[in-house]
Structure 1
Amino acid sequence: MNKGRAHWIIFIIIILGSLGAIFGYKIAMKSENKISKDASVKSLGYTGNPMAVMKTNMGEIKLELFAKDAPETVGNFIKLSREKFYDGTRFHRVIKGFMIQGGDPNSKDDDWSNDGIGGPGYAFKDEINPNKIIKGVLAMANAGPDTNGSQFFIVTAESAPWLDGKHTVFGKVVEGMDAVDSIENVATDKSKNDHPVKNVTVESVTIVD
């Protein structure tokens, strides 16, 4: 193998690795690549797009959930919300001009060292759909293909085309983008994986039937 080709292969490996780790999210449990049957949005009785109200200590965010485009992902989000899984979690990673990330149960305490590696205890497959990674969309954070759990992110960049097709988009902000903007602008510690210096807490997530 010539040196030029070897350098290109190494470069590609580095780029792919960076994309996989871009959200600092690693699965800290055995990946089962399945989801409980009762978590499908269809089995939960929804025919249209459900709405969710995420109450944070920096304001409310109203989300439209894309039941048709990502039925299993939406079902999982509804199930976890109803179980109050997200209550008390924090937005543990914030990158201005890019996204705000939350949904990790490990973030409920003041130990930042394990924030970003928690989940619900299972993983499930991607539901890649035509929706693009653009400002205001709600998407699943992951550690690679089919490693979805509970962590999500809301996009604050105008677009992030390099992530299209790599993350399941399952909703969008319909009200409360001002709250998202406020969260995006909090002070962060870059040496701690862009963790907010002050807690940004999800107080509750309510599904609007």
Structure 2
Amino acid sequence: MATNVLIAYYSSYGHTATMAQSVAEGARSESGTEVRVMRIPELEEARRAMSGQEWYNKAQEAQASIPEVTHDDLRWADGIIWGMPTRYGNMPAQVKQFLDTTGALWANGELEDKATGIFTSTATIHGGQETTIITGLVPLLHLGMIFVGTPYGQNPHILTTDGIGGSPYGPGTMAGGDGSRQPEERELLTARNLGSRVAKVSARLKSLRATQEHGQQPDAPQYEGQ
């Protein structure tokens, strides 16, 4: 039984898009996982305001072939990983507007008990690496999703004083003040690890739901000394 993992992201300058591909690579490393990478639509007001920036135009052109995410993609997924660059420590309006359209999914409980995670991109190390993920989690909890982070045990490289993105809440990268910095390998590794972990958790949750729907009791965990 295949496990479906959706990576839905927004990216102005391409950094979050790069991270999304590494998240997808990690998810695909888990056997039996189907992955979709899809972008959250740009707002026309933002497009007009930013179209004079060369880096923005290049990044948007590079992402033009990636399909835009729909509610049916959310329904298809067993796990959903969101890519949201920061806007003053919060998710960008593009992501918030898309989430605000999911009222019918919320009312019907269609996203409940699905695994989820968040990755982000900021200009600087203090630009919202943690707050963007923490605040982005709030609507996902309202939708009934089960949050998956990137713990230190699987990501010892984030236990560092080096200037890299990422935290136990989720992967992150930094673009630099002028957008010239690109994700480095440790940041991409955290992204791959999130993809893999969400895929594994999604598979287990899907198996548990299938067992319960067929009226079976899941196997009790076995402990030493029983």
TM-score between the two structures when normalised by the length of structure 1: 0.27
If each structure's strand is expressed as a fraction of its own residues, which one has the higher value? Answer: 1
If each structure's helix is expressed as a fraction of its own residues, which one has the higher value? Answer: 2
Report the structure number with the largest CA radius of gyration.
Answer: 2
Structure of greater relative contact order (alpha carbons < 8 Å, 6+ residues apart): 1
TM-score between the two structures when normalised by the length of structure 2: 0.25
